[in-house]
Amino acid sequence: MKPAVTTTIALTGLLATLASPAQARPFNDPRAERMPAIEADAAFAGQPRDPACHTSTLASTGGALPASPSTLAIRWTGFANFELSYKGQIMLLDAYFDRGSLYPPLGFKADDVTRANVILIGHGHHDHMSDAASVGIRTGATIVGAPLTTAKLLSQKVDPQKLRTASGRESVVMDFGPFKVEPILGRHGEPPKTLVDAFGGALRATAPKPTEEQLAELAIIRSRGVQDPRVVTEGTLAYLITLDDGFRIMYRDSGGAVTDFEKSAMERAGGRVDVALVAVSASYLNTETVPRALEHVRTYKPDVYIPAHHDAAYNNLWRATEPLFQAVKDENPNIVTASRGYREPLCFNTEHNISRKR
């Protein structure tokens, strides 16, 4: 008798596994384990696997857009670049793709980006906007930036009709199809000089020296960005992006101090976002980067925290994200932390969002 009972239990278990709706669902929403409503959403689970959420080809370079109108795909493409695709529209956050041969390859070139509806530039340093003009001109996308950023784009032959300038000091909401965008004045990171000098010196002393060609290449890329010191206080925008179903994203491409403008924008928006895409501070030591990440997370109160600006040239140090994840979770175990490789999609079922009752 005993072996028969064991077999029955084993078979029942196997059948339950085979019948699991996880097989059919279009993708795994990173919030699913923390939010029973996503896990229990039968309509969502019944949809077929969505190619846009399982391939590493950007929608902007010809890859699939999400199949369902409630699916948002987010892809990180190095430094503070992200691609958002939603309801057939593509929004790029920052545009720094051709970084030069000292950097790890992203798997595509600026020339490959042929589709984009909107480009939001956080600030005008070259490592955030060096490809904004060429990509904007090729795709016909509207480009949003601070005055210093759009002045640079004008000098790069971008059609003035395609530019939207924002100081981020007043509450302005821009409509781009299914995306509503509020530019907010942030502040650029200001890593302590003692750290920059000490770590910069150590890296220069130990890393292979760039060749003359590599230096020339970097000089051209650098010339496509803004070098004005006012970028720190007047030229760095955070963006609050709200989808037409209420799903909210906060994007910040520099790990500087939170401003009063950001605090009031968050108050107006109900105090929370679904996803925060935030640059890791450039201060090298985790004793410096962790408190700054906590300041961002306490301000935006995201359900999902996704870091940015943590990769580096081959001869440099990537900024560690795990110490940030640990500190964020120590403070609030319900926050989901997520980081992916270049171009790998993170997909969200945006029907479930902070603006709605879950």
Residues at the interface with Zn ion (CB under 5 A) = 125
Closer to Zn ion by CB, 125 or 343: give it. 125
Q: How far is the CB of 213 from Zn ion (least distance, A)?
A: 25
Minimum CB distance to Zn ion smaller for 75 or for 309 = 309
Is residue 323 within 8 Å of 286, Cβ to Cβ? yes
Q: How far is CA 38 from CA 57, 98, 281, 301, in A?
A: 26, 38, 32, 20
Minimum distance between the CB of residue 125 and Zn ion, rounded to whole angstroms?
3
- Helix residue ranges per DSSP H, 249-337: 260-268, 286-300, 322-331
N-to-C CA span, the chain? 47
Is the Cβ–Cβ distance between 293 and 324 less than 8 Å? Answer: yes
Gap between the Cα atoms of 358 and 344, Å rounded: 28
Closer residue to Zn ion, CB minimum distance, 75 or 126? 126
SS3 183: strand
- Least distance (Å) from Zn ion to the CB of residue 236? 8
Give the nearest distance from C-beta 282 to Zn ion in angstroms: 8
Helices (H) and strands (E) in the chain, counts: 12, 14
Nearer to Zn ion, 125 or 352 (CB): 125
- Report the 10 Å Cβ neighbour count for 7: 10
Which CB atom, from 99 or from 125, has the smaller least distance to Zn ion? 125
Helical spans, DSSP H, in 28-175 = 36-39, 42-45, 126-129, 132-139, 147-155
User: Which of helix, strand or coil describes residue 52?
Assistant: helix
**Under 8 Å CB-to-CB from 142, ≥6 apart: which residues?**
117, 118, 119, 162, 163, 164, 176
Residue nearest to Zn ion (CB): 125
Contact 147, 235 (CB under 8 A): yes
Residue closer to Zn ion by CB (options 125, 152) is 125
CA angle (199, 286, 252) in 5-degree steps: 95
Name which of 12 and 227 has its Cβ closer to Zn ion. 227
**In the complex, least distance from residue 235 CB atom to Zn ion, rounded to whole angstroms:** 9
- In the bound state with Zn ion, the residue whose beta carbon lies nearer, of 166 and 346, is 166
- Nearer residue to Zn ion within complex by CB, 39 or 228: 228
Instruction: Please list, in sequence order, all residues whose beta carbon lies within 8 angstroms of the beta carbon of residue 235, skipping any fewer than 6 positions away.
Output: 123, 124, 146, 147, 148, 149, 188, 226, 228
